[in-house]
Chain A
Amino acid sequence: VSLFLDERHDLVILVVNTIQKDLRSDNYLVVCAALTAACRLIGEEAIPAVLPQVVELLAHPKEAVRKKAVMALHRFYQRSPSSVSHLVSNFRKRLCDNDPGVMGATLCPLYDLILEDPNSYKDLVVSFVNILKQVAERRLPTSYDYHQMPAPFIQIKLLKILAVLGSGDKQASGNMYMVLGDIFRKGDTASNIGNAILYECICCISSIFPNAKMLDAAAETTSKFLKSDSHNLKYMGIDALGRLIKINPDIAEEHQLAVIDCLEDPDDTLKRKTFELLYKMTKSTNVEVIVDRMIEYMINITDHHYKTEIASRCVELAEQFAPSNQWFIQTMNKVFEHAGDLVNIRVAHNLMRLIAEGFGEEDEGADSQLRSSAVDSYLRIVGEPKLPSSFLQIICWVLGEYGTADGKYSASYIIGKLYDVAEAHPTDDTVRAYAISAILKIFAFEIALGRKIDMLPECQSLIDELSASHSTDLQQRAYELQALLGLDKQAVENVMPADASCEDIEIDRNLSFLNGYVQQAIENGAAPYIPESERSGVVSVGNYKAQDQQETSAHALRFEAYELPPAASQASISPTTDLVPVPEPSYYKEDHQMSRSQPSGDSLSGEFGLKLRLDGVQKKWGRPAYSSSSTPSSSTSSQQATNGGVSSEVGGSTSSQARESTYGSKRQQATEVSAEKQRLAASLFGKADRKTQAGRKTAKESSSTEKVATANATPQPAKEQVIPSAPPPDLLDLGEPVSSSPPLADPFTQLEGLLGPASASPVVSETPASSTSKTPDLMSIFSDDVQTGVTSGSTEPSLGVNVVAAKKGPSLQDALQKDAAARQVGVTPTGNNPILFKDLLG
C-alpha cells in the first residue's frame, strides 16, 4: 500500500486505523512495518491520530522498534513541526540509547532541529564530541564497521552537526579541534568512505571558528583530492577548495593548474563545479577571464536550468567587478544575445536602470560615457537576426532614451534603426511597443530642443498601420505619437522631460484637480457620490440572501440522507446475528475511525446505505449454504491480513470493504437504538424460554415460543423473514461439537460452560446500569446464570443439555456486545477475542 499512496491521497484516512492497530501489536515486526508505513503515508492531518502511540514506542524493549519510532517522529517533524515541538526532549534521551543503531537514527532529527536553532543545542557539543571520539577509537561493535572504517555514516552525520554548532562560536569550536585532528590523522584516502569522512571534515573545519593547524590539514587533504585520478575525488576537491578560499584566499594559488585542468575536462559535472569555484574566487583582477569563460561555456550548453543560473552569475559578477564601462556593456550584450530569454526579467530592468543612473559615483562624465558606449554597441548589434525579445527591449529603450543625447547620431538615423526593428518583428507586440515608444521619445526630445524633424514615409505608414492594430496597447502608443507631433515646444518639454526615466512621480491620490467639475455637476442636479463602503454594504446584504438559500439546500440534502437508513438498518442488523463472531473485532475498530472522519460522514453513510441494502436483499433470498460459505472466506482473508506483516493489495481491499460495511452498519445502528433494544429483548426472552425446555418436546415448544416472540415484537416484514433462517446455522453448530468431541471430552465442556458466565460479568460491569430500561436485561442475564449453575450441578447431565449450555455462551456475549456498541460504550476487542476464537476452533 505504501508504494502506491502518499500522504496526500484520500484513501490514507482508511489506512490510519490499520496502522493504529499494528502499532499496538505484540509482534515487533508488525510494529516495525507499521512505523515504516506511517513515515510514508501519515500526512499533516493524520499525525495526531498516531503520535501518542509512536511516542510510547520510543521506550519499546526492542531496539529496532525504538529506531523506527525515532525516524517516524523525524518525519512527523518534517511534515508538521508544531505538532512535534513538545517532544524535542525525547530526542535528547534517545541520543543516550545503548544501541548504536538507535543513537545513529537519532542524529537525523537532531540535525534538522539544530539547523533551525543552533543555540538551543550548544550544550550537546561535548556529547557529540565524545560520541565521535568513541567511534574514532573503535569502541562500537564491529558490525558497524564498513570497509574497515568504524561507523563511517555516524561519523559523517556527527561532523555535519558539529559544523552547524561550531559556526561562529569559538568556545564550541575549541572542543572539536582535538577530535577533528584525530580523524584527519586516521583518515584513509584509499577507500571512498574514508574520503567521504575527510571531505566532511573539511566542510566542518571551514564552517567552525578558524584554526591554523586545522586549515593546514584541510588544505593538504584538498590537495590530495585535486591530484587524484578519480573524477569523483576531483569533484570533491573542487568543492572543498571553494569552501576553504572563503577563509584563506591564498590556498587557491597553489592549485591553479589543477583547477584549469578541471575546467577543460570533458565531464560536465566537473566543469560546473569548477565554475562554482571560480565564481567564489572572482576579484577585480580576474573577472574578465572568468566571465569570458563562463559565457563561452554558456553558449555551448543546452540545459536551460543551468544556463539561466550561469547567465545570472555572469551578470552579477559583471555588476560587482566591472573594470570599465566598455567591458561591462560588451559582457551584457553577450549574455543577453545568447541567453536573453532565460535571464530573469529583473536583470534586464536592472540593466536599464544602471545605464540611466550610472554606477552611483556622481560622475556625470563617466555616466555619459557609459551611455555612449551602450548606444554604440547597440547600434552595431541591432541589425543581427534572432536576437532575444528581452534584449531587443533593452536596445529599443536605450536608443530611445539616449540615442541622440551626445549628438553623434542624427535623429533620423536612430528612428530608421528603430523602424527596422519594428518591421523585423511583426508578431512580437512587446518589442514593437518598445520601438514605438522609443521613436516617440526621440521626436519629443527633438521638438523640445526646437529642431525640425522630418517624418520618414515608412514611419508614417507604420504609425498608420499600428493605429488600426488589434492590440490596444500599440494603438494607444501610435495615437500618443500622433498627438505629440501636434504639440508645441513648451508642452512637449513638460510631457517628456529629458533623462527623467528614474525620477519619482508625484500622484494626487484625492484627484483634487477634479473638484471643480464635480461641483459644477452637483449644481446641475447630479446625485452626490456614494462612498464605496455604503455600496459594499448593499453587496453584503445580497450575500446574506445567497447564504440563506444555501442553508435551505443543505437542509434538503440532510433530509435525503436520513430517509434512507430505516429499511437498510433492518436488513443489515439481522444477518449480523447469525454470522460467525469473527468479524466483530473489525466492527469495534471502525468506532475509532468514525470519530476521526466525521466531516465526510454524510456522504459515506449515503454510499454505505446503498451497499447495505444490496447485502440485505442478498441475505434474504440466498440459500443458507451460500451465506454460510461466504463467511469462512472473508474470515480467512481477514485472518491473513492480521497475521501477515506485509500487506497485500487483495487483503487490503477485502478488509477495507469489510470495514466499510461495518462502518455503515454502525452508522445505521446509532439512529435505531429503540428498535435495537426491542430486538435485543425479544432475542433474550426467546432464548430464555427455550432454555427451560428439555427432552423430546424441545422442537415443538421452540416453535410455539417463536410465535409468542413474534406477537410481542413490532410486526415488521424484515424481522419475520429473518427468523426462519436461524435454524440451519443452529443445526451446523449443534452437529460440529458432537462429531468432534468423544465422551472423554465431557470435563472440558463443563469447564467451558462455567467460563461463560464469568466472562459475561465483566461485560455487564462495564456497561452503566443507571437507566430503567436496562433492568429487564439484567434480570434476564441473572436468570440465565442461575439456570446454567443448576444444570452443571446435576448428576450425570445429558450430552444434549451440556451442548446447548455451551452454545448459549457466545450468543449471549454476542448480543451483549451489540447492545454495548449501540450505546457507544467501547468494549475492548482483545478482551473477547480469545474466547471467540476458542469457540470457533474448539
Chain B
Amino acid sequence: MINFVLLISRQGKVRLTKWYSPYTQKERTKVIRELSGLILTRGPKLCNFVEWKGYKVVYRRYASLYFCMCIDAEDNELEVLEIIHHFVEVLDRYFGSVCELDLIFNFHKAYYILDEILIAGELQESSKKNVARLIAAQDSLVEAAKEEASSISNIIAQATK
C-alpha cells in the first residue's frame, strides 16, 4: 500500500502531494520537511530506495522533479519504481513533453490523472490507454458543463429583463 505521494522540485518546493492515509496538517508538514532533506541530499548513483521510520520511500528524479512514494516495508520496491514511471508516462502523453510548469499550471489535471492511476493507495489501472480514454471523457464533460452553464446564464439574464 502506498501511504502518500510527493512531488518535490530540486530546490525543495512541493509541487503535488496526495495522502492515502490520515495525516494531520502538522504531520504532513513535518513529513515533507524530513523527506525533502533526506532525498535531495542523495547522490544520483545511490539506491532509489530509502528506509524511513519503518517505511520505505521510493523516489525517482525526472529533470528537476523528484517523484516520491512512501510504501510499507514489505512491498516490492522495483514495482513502485515502475508505478512512478507509469505515472510519468501518462502525464507525458497527456501534456506532451510534460515539464514542471505543466504540473504547476494544470495541477488539477495532474491530480485527476493520479486519481485514475492510484486509488486508496493501490494501483488501480495499469493500462495507459484506459487512463487516457477516461481523462479525455472527463475533459469533454467539463467542456459540456461549461457550455450548459453559460447558456443557462443567458436564459436567466433574458428572463429577468
Check if B106 is an interface residue, CB within 8 A of chain A.
no
Main secondary structure of the interface of A (DSSP, over half): helix
Check if A391 is an interface residue, CB within 8 A of chain B.
no
- Bound-state Cα–Cα, A632 to B153, Å: 8
The residues in A between 552 and 597 inclusive whose CB is less than 8 angstroms from any CB of B are none
B149–A235 CB distance below 8 A: no
22 A-B Cβ contacts within 8 A? A6-B19, A29-B134, A30-B141, A32-B134, A64-B134, A71-B119, A144-B127, A154-B126, A156-B76, A192-B82, A193-B82, A200-B76, A235-B49, A269-B46, A269-B49, A305-B54, A636-B152, A636-B156, A640-B149, A644-B145, A645-B142, A840-B159
| List of 4 A-B pairs having minimum Cβ-Cβ separation, nearest first | A196-B78, A632-B156, A643-B145, A143-B129
Which residues of B sit under 8 angstroms from A78, Cβ to Cβ? 120
Closest to A8 in B: B22
Given A6-B22, A36-B119, A71-B124; A195-B78 close (CB under 8 Å): yes
Which residues of A sit under 8 angstroms from B125, Cβ to Cβ? 67, 101, 104-105
Check if A635 is an interface residue, CB within 8 A of chain B.
yes
Give B92 Cβ to nearest chain A Cβ, in Å: 14
Chain B interface residue count, Cβ-Cβ cutoff 8 angstroms: 53
A269–B141 CB distance below 8 A: no
Contact with B along A610-641 (1 / 0, CB 8 A): 00000000000000000011001001100110
Closest to A36 in B: B115
Closest to A196 in B: B78
Given A71-B124, A192-B82; A643-B148 close (CB under 8 Å): yes
When A and B form their complex, what is the total count of cross-chain residue pairs whose Cβ atoms lie within 8 Å? 159
When the two chains form the complex, which single residue of A143, A192, A305, A639 contacts B149, counting CB atoms closer than 8 Å?
A639
Check if B93 is an interface residue, CB within 8 A of chain A.
no
B79–A200 CB distance below 8 A: yes
The chain A residues found within 8 Å of chain B, CB to CB, are 3, 6-8, 27, 29-30, 32, 36, 39-40, 64, 67-68, 71-72, 74-75, 78, 100-101, 104-105, 108, 141, 143-144, 146, 151-154, 156, 160, 192-193, 195-196, 199-200, 203, 231-232, 234-236, 266-267, 269-270, 272, 305-306, 628-629, 632, 635-636, 639-640, 643-646, 732, 736, 840-841
Which residues of B sit under 8 angstroms from A108, Cβ to Cβ? 122-123
Check if B83 is an interface residue, CB within 8 A of chain A.
yes
- Bound-state Cα–Cα, A192 to B77, Å: 10
A643–B149 CB distance below 8 A: yes
B120–A75 CB distance below 8 A: yes
Which residues of B sit under 8 angstroms from A146, Cβ to Cβ? 82, 86, 126
Closest to B115 in A: A36
Give A517 Cβ to nearest chain B Cβ, in Å: 57
Q: Select the residue from B115, B119, B130 with max chain A CB neighbours within 10 A.
A: B119
Which residues of B sit under 8 angstroms from A306, Cβ to Cβ? 51
Main secondary structure of the interface of B (DSSP, over half): helix
Check if B81 is an interface residue, CB within 8 A of chain A.
yes
Which residues of B sit under 8 angstroms from A67, Cβ to Cβ? 124-125
Which residues of A sit under 8 angstroms from B82, Cβ to Cβ? 146, 152-153, 192-193, 196
The chain B residues found within 8 Å of chain A, CB to CB, are 18-19, 22-23, 45-51, 53-54, 76-79, 81-83, 85-86, 108, 111-112, 115, 119-120, 122-130, 134, 137-138, 141-142, 144-145, 148-149, 152-153, 155-157, 159-160
Which residues of A sit under 8 angstroms from B141, Cβ to Cβ? 27, 29-30, 645
Give B44 Cβ to nearest chain A Cβ, in Å: 10
Give A64 Cβ to nearest chain B Cβ, in Å: 6
Give B35 Cβ to nearest chain A Cβ, in Å: 13
Closest to A625 in B: B160
Give A416 Cβ to nearest chain B Cβ, in Å: 45
A71–B120 CB distance below 8 A: yes
Closest to B144 in A: A643
When the two chains form the complex, which single residue of B79, B153, B156 contacts A156, counting CB atoms closer than 8 Å?
B79
A100–B53 CB distance below 8 A: no
- Bound-state Cα–Cα, A39 to B115, Å: 10
When the two chains form the complex, which single residue of B18, B85, B112, B122 contacts A646, counting CB atoms closer than 8 Å?
B112
B49–A232 CB distance below 8 A: yes
Closest to A644 in B: B145
B78–A199 CB distance below 8 A: yes
Which residues of B sit under 8 angstroms from A203, Cβ to Cβ? 76
Given A640-B145, A644-B142; A632-B159 close (CB under 8 Å): yes
Which residues of B sit under 8 angstroms from A841, Cβ to Cβ? 155
A636–B149 CB distance below 8 A: yes
- Bound-state Cα–Cα, A100 to B124, Å: 11
Which residues of B sit under 8 angstroms from A3, Cβ to Cβ? 18, 111
